[in-house]
Amino acid sequence: MAMTGVLRPGHVQLRVLDLDESIKFYGDVLGLIETGRDQHGRVYFKCWDEHDHSSFIIREAEAPGMDYMGFRVLDVPTLNDIEKKLNDYGLETTRIPAGELLETGERVRFTTPSGHEIEFYAEKNKVGNGLGNVSPAPWAPEREKGMGPVHLDHCLLYGPNIDETAKIFTELLGFRVTENILDPEGGNAAHFMSTSHKPHDIAFVNYPEPGKFHHASFLLETWEQVLRAADIMSMHKVNVDIGPTRHGVTRGMTIYAWDPSGNRFETFAGGYFAYPDKEKIVWPAEDFGQGLDYPQRKLHESFLTIVT
């Protein structure tokens, strides 16, 4: 498919309780590569097969959670167009100057009706994946570090007004709803949305409290890598939430677990291709458990209640 407009999830910034502990966790246990530190005390990471400077940023704070999620857009005219569309719709935006985030250009940010800070940017310096662009090897040595995630894939966010939020993502930002989970009244309990051919790039679950973070998800290459990640989690006494198992929703083979601050992360492999002509999938409320955990068909209480 032609890729224009919003290209992909580019970065997420999370709050952590203890920076040093988190640097060890995300670097050595998850296996991200540290790419920088800034004057505000933020630490920047990327996954081994990402080419942009950073995809995952942490800062120390009193409470865990997500500061914002950022999407890379095609170019500066696209960024300006997104700002205009949001403003014309009646949404306030703020411009964050280039360089505020290391190696990253100007960003345009707005608050979703679900209470999340979402931003867009057209420029972030390319540092490459270490393999070059001429006859590259299929993987870099860093793949063997920790769980070895390939890239930051998506976030799942909890908050109110998810229909209004989905409307903004679909009508203004060019996303498509790939899957809905329904509530018992037939309304939407969850929207899974894609701006690419992935089953989702962002998802929202209906929740009374605004701006809550459920998980950031990292792609692994195979089911064997997911099982290897499970072994690493146990070796390091990581708190595991669900899995290894398979989601019905998106078909991802998955583990949910928590970082030392209580922020949930996911490591997963697989999923289908979601080209723009693919029809939407629906999960009636009674199948929510199957959508979450296909083999066990279990609507885990922690999935619904534990967010940061």
Q: Annotated active-site positions, please? A: 154, 200, 215, 247, 256, 266
* Residue 249 engages ligand M3P in binding (rule: CB under 6 A): yes
| Stretch in the footprint of ligand M3P (CB under 6 A) among 49-57, 169-177, 248-256, 257-265 | 248-256
Kindly state the smallest distance separating residue 153's Cβ from ligand M3P, in Å. 8
- The nearest distance, CB 200 to Fe ion, in angstroms, is 7
- Tokens coding 223: 């089911």
250 is an interface residue for ligand M3P by CB under 6 A: yes
**H/E element holding 65?**
strand 65-73
Q: Which of 54, 129, 206, 217 binds Fe ion (CB under 5 A)?
A: 217
**Which amino acid is it at 305?**
T
42 or 116: CB nearest ligand M3P:
116
CB of 183 to ligand M3P, least distance (A): 12
Nearest to 38 by CA among 92, 86, 80, 99: 99
CA distance 69 to 195: 14
Dig out the tokens for 212 from the structure: 């809550």
- Assess 266 for contact with Fe ion (CB under 5 A): yes
Q: How far apart are CA 18 and CA 16, in angstroms?
A: 6
Contact with ligand M3P (CB under 6 A) among 156, 168, 226, 307: 156
DSSP for 104-138 reads: B--EEEEE-TTS-EEEEES-B-B---SS-SSS--S
Q: What are phi and psi of 289, to 5 degrees?
A: -60, -40
* 201 near Fe ion, rule: CB under 5 A: no
CB 176 within 8 A of CB 194: yes
Q: Interface residues for Fe ion in 26-45 (CB under 5 A)? A: none
Binding part of the chain for ligand M3P, among 45-53, 79-87, 134-142, 243-251 by CB under 6 A, reads 243-251
Provide the token pair at 162.
Answer: 């998810």
Q: What is the DSSP letter of 52?
A: B
Cβ at position 111, least distance to Fe ion in Å: 22
Binding test (CB under 6 A) with ligand M3P, winner from 82, 292, 307, 308: 292
- The CA–CA distances, whole Å, from 100 to 72, 199, 211 equal 16, 31, 22
Which run of H or of E encompasses 195? none
How many helices (H) and strands (E) the chain has is answered by 6, 17
Binding segment (CB under 6 A) for ligand M3P, from list 2-10, 71-79, 228-236, 244-252: 244-252
Q: How far is the CB of 169 from ligand M3P (least distance, A)?
A: 17
* Interaction mask 197-226, ligand M3P, x per CB under 6 A: --------------------x---------
Give the footprint of ligand M3P on this chain (CB under 6 A). 156, 181, 190, 217, 247, 249-250, 252, 266, 268, 291-292
Give the footprint of Fe ion on this chain (CB under 5 A). 217, 266
